[in-house]
């Protein structure tokens, strides 16, 4: 079946339909990862977005239930150069095409993903539509693209009730995970370090978190514009004003910055992939990191009496981490729990455990 991708700038790409048939409007972004497509599909940070994979061959090792980062996929649409018709891996439980169909994800292949990536890099992320219709009205499509907005995504992806995950082995700490769209591997990284993790809905009042007897609080990744989460930011400020250890990642990093008076801004095309170089200013070393975000903390708005920049992006110099003056509080823009990788920065979980008292 034929399919067509139409971008908001008027560019049209004709290809072959994969996954579910039909029509889908979303914000189009690109990801430079060579592997980890199932983790990308199930990452809640992609809610409301369609993903263009810049690497040309996707699906070659199939899919399996162990690689899911959440209970369901969140990507709206999937764009690839070539979709492997079969998966070759001892863990393979099915093909990526069937996975897309089963989860109602509209996709397209046999199109020039390099050209699309160049458009998004030069003109910025933009809305797009994938349609399987033979005929469509371009003017009507442009109206739909102009009207589409990615909003209220944290409320959409957060869990509705608390859920507890036991530590692997001896329990040493109890961590509250504020679920703004948490990836399961973030929870697993804590469990492997002896932490029982209670994942809480994003709307959980600060008073309940502070009174919960937790040894530390982790602020998870998540989708959308951080500044629109005004109620969450107000409650997070109360948690910050307590003395409980805090560690924030991605959206959690941005939300805590907003809660302490800094500002955020939109990136032209975002950072999405598993090959982003970040410099740890304290260690004087560059680490390769996994990232997925369209917004950033504006370094110049961070009050030096509140926090200092701890990590910077080597490519564009943007803020990738903050170390707060308040004890036992730090955040990163990148994903130290990266799955399928790289895992160079998992040492930050050890730092978080140490802030809670280490192996006591």
Kindly list the catalytic residues. Answer: 250, 335, 337
Beta-bridge partners for 19: 106
How far is residue 79's CA from residue 205's CA, in Å, rounded to a whole number?
39
Helix ranges, the chain (H) = 37-41, 96-102, 113-123, 138-147, 153-157, 184-191, 206-210, 230-240, 251-259, 347-355
Structure tokens at 135: 């005929």
| Strand 77-79 to 106-109 pairing | parallel
- 23 burial class (0-12, 13-18, 19+ CB within 10 angstroms)? middle
From the centroid of its chain, how far is CA 132? 28
Q: Is 162 left (phi over 0), alpha (psi -120 to 50) or beta?
A: beta
Q: Is 122 left (phi over 0), alpha (psi -120 to 50) or beta?
A: alpha
Helices 251-259 and 230-240: angle between axes, nearest 10 degrees? 70
Beta-bridge partners for 27: 49, 127
């Amino acid at each position: 079946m034929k399919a067509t991708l139409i971008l908001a700038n008027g560019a049209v790409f004709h290809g072959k339909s994969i996954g579910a048939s039909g029509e889908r409007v979303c914000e189009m972004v690109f990801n430079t990862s060579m592997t980890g497509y199932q983790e990308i599909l199930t990452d809640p940070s992609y809610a409301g977005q369609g993903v263009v994979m810049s690497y040309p061959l996707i699906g070659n090792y199939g899919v399996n239930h162990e690689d899911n980062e959440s209970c369901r996929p969140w990507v709206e649409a999937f764009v690839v150069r070539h979709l492997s018709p079969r998966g070759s891996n001892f863990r393979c439980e099915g093909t990526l095409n069937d996975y897309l169909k089963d989860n109602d994800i509209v996709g397209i292949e046999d199109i020039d993903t390099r050209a699309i990536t160049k458009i998004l890099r030069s003109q910025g992320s933009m809305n797009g539509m994938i349609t399987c219709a033979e005929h469509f009205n371009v003017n009507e499509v442009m109206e739909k693209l102009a009207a589409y907005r990615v909003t209220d995504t944290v409320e959409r992806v957060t869990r509705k009730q608390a859920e507890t995950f036991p530590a692997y082995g001896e329990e040493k700490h109890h961590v509250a995970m504020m679920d703004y769209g948490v990836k399961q591997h973030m929870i697993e990284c804590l469990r492997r370090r002896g932490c029982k993790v209670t994942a809480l809905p994003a709307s959980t009042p600060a008073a309940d978190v502070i009174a919960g007897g937790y040894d530390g609080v982790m602020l998870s990744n998540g989708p959308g514009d951080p500044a629109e989460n005004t109620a969450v930011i107000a409650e997070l400020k109360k948690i910050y004003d307590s003395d409980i250890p805090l560690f924030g990642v991605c959206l959690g990093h941005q939300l805590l910055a907003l809660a302490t008076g800094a500002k955020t801004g939109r990136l032209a095309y975002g950072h999405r992939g598993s090959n982003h170089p970040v410099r740890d200013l304290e260690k004087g070393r560059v680490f390769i990191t996994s990232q997925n975000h369209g917004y950033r903390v504006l370094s110049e708005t961070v009050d030096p009496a509140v926090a200092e920049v701890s990590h910077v992006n080597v490519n564009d110099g943007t803020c990738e981490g903050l170390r707060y003056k308040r004890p036992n509080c730090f955040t990163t823009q990148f994903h130290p729990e990266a799955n399928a990788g790289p895992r160079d920065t998992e040492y930050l979980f050890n730092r978080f455990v140490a802030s809670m008292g280490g192996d006591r």
